[in-house]
Amino acid sequence: MVLATAGGLALAVGAGVAAAQDQGQVEVLHWWTSGGEAAALNVLKEDLESKGIAWEDMPVAGGGGEQAMTVLRARVTAGNPPTAVQMLGYDIRDWAEQGVVADLSETAKAEGWGEVVPEALQFFSTYDGQWIAAPVNVHSTNWIWASKQIFDELGLSEPTSWDELIATLDKIQEAGHVALAHGGQDWQDATIFDAVVNSTGGIEFYKAALIDLDPEALGSDTMKEVFDRMAKLRTYVDDNFSGRDWNLATAMVIEGQAGMQMMGDWAKGEFINAGQTPGEDFLCFRHPGTQGTVTFNTDQFVMFQVGEEQRPAQIELAKSIMEPEFQASFNIVKGSVPARTDVSDEAFDACGKKGVADLAEANADATLYGSLAHGHAAPASVKNAIYDVVTAHFNGEYDSETAVEELVNAVAAAQ
Ligand code: BGC
């Protein structure tokens, strides 16, 4: 009896493995290595495995994906690209231009992607009229994540203006906590910069400076104020901030050591992964002065040109990513919102529902713009040039006036 059961089990397991191999395999390059990110990735992995497709994981740590893009370049140069690659904004267009990505148009047409993916996202999923990427989510960078415990302890409420934000940070610091949890890495500094440009000058200023790269906006007094504000925020981070990974900064808020973190909504994935609940354990609100606007980034999976034998599994991966049910279950865990307009927000938590509503509002009001920090405002050359200035200033190498001059010059040189 026992033996028969064990044999039956062994058979079932064996059959499962055989089926997985039968449907092919995908090799996926990504930078989802934090606890929350890995949990979200697992939703995709398991979905594919249930369809009989084996998953070969190729993680390359580093938020914003810089390191992942370096590894990708080496793989493509060696003539051995992965099946699919997590990618952001202008990087997708750059790779498409090089003629090495696969065409998904037939699948996109059959599945009606064009009707449900917002235009702002399609700008990055299509190139020369062809679909080349499957968007899995929409994140945004103008969020603040706060410790409910510290806010309750100090009787604080959500700040709605710059002055209130500063008063709140002061109170947290005076009480002996780290006021602002931050990791000193260029892309994290730039993530705060996105929000501060938006809150200081408004979303039209954000567009003029970081999307249109208008030299007047880049060199303006408003931009000087942006840098002054960045310098002010720098006074609220702890001494050990340099080089810290973003998820370790989130952990400081989760553990009640720090009052807040200014970070995209992938941070929510960390709170959820730690078993926390919005409104009970942590708070999510928009960076003061940016409510009604969204600076977004969308993770898209770009398919590379692979051998014919790998093609069916690649197409199945793209189709699975775009399934409405999958987009709901994945994004609930990831902290982002679906890349399709026809997915119900019913199963999302309070922050997720807010994310869905804010995105719809910003899309309708034309206050939805790509994040500079996460590659959706300008090509990598410009993005990296801005990173350098923002980080040098944040670390005290330039005063605000010099930073403005450097910004204008660096952007001009990078174009
Ligand atoms: C990606 C997110 C990721 C974050 C931190 C962003 O650029 O869009 O999916 O969680 O980087 O790694």
Express each pLDDT in 7-50 by its tens digit: 333 333 444 444 545 899 999 999 999 999 999 999 999 999 99
**DSSP 8-state symbol, 310:** G
What are the C-alpha distances in Å from 383 to residues 32, 43, 323? 21, 31, 32
Q: Which atom of ligand 1 is nearest to the CA of 298?
A: 8
Please compute the mean of the pLDDT values over residues 233-260 and round it to a whole number.
Answer: 98
Of 59-63, 149-153, 370-374, where does mean pLDDT reach its minimum? 59-63
Within 6 A (CB) of ligand 1 lie 31, 37, 63-65, 88, 139, 266, 297, 299, 374
At residue 21, the pLDDT reads 57
What is the value of pTM for the model shown? Answer: 0.94
Please compute the mean of the pLDDT values over residues 73-97 and round it to a whole number.
Answer: 97
Of 183, 200, 375, 180, residue with least CA distance to 297 = 375
pLDDT reading at 158 higher than 90: yes
Q: How far is the CA of 10 from the centre of ligand 1 (A)?
A: 39
Residue of 29, 31, 137 best suited for mutating to test ligand 1, as the one with most atoms within 8 Å of CB = 31
Contact 85, 28 (CB under 8 A): yes
Please compute the mean of the pLDDT values over residues 236-258 and round it to a whole number.
Answer: 98
What are the C-alpha distances in Å from 32 to residues 72, 217, 227? 15, 35, 31
Of 17-31, 86-100, 186-200, 337-351, where does mean pLDDT reach its minimum? 17-31
Band of residue 63 on the pLDDT scale cut at 50, 70, 90: confident
pLDDT reading at 413 higher than 50: yes
Q: How far is the CA of 7 from the centre of ligand 1 (A)?
A: 44
Please compute the mean of the pLDDT values over residues 272-288 and round it to a whole number.
Answer: 98
Q: Which atom of ligand 1 is nearest to the CA of 375?
A: 7
What are the C-alpha distances in Å from 67 to residues 59, 126, 187, 285? 10, 24, 12, 30
State how far the Cα of 388 lies from the Cα of 383, in Å rounded to an integer. 9
For the chain, what is the mean pLDDT? 95
Q: How far is the CA of 92 from the centre of ligand 1 (A)?
A: 15
**DSSP 8-state symbol, 272:** H
Of 1-15, 76-90, 347-361, 378-392, where does mean pLDDT reach its minimum? 1-15
Strand partners, 127: 130
Q: How far is the CA of 270 from the centre of ligand 1 (A)?
A: 12
**389: its two tokens:** 């200035």
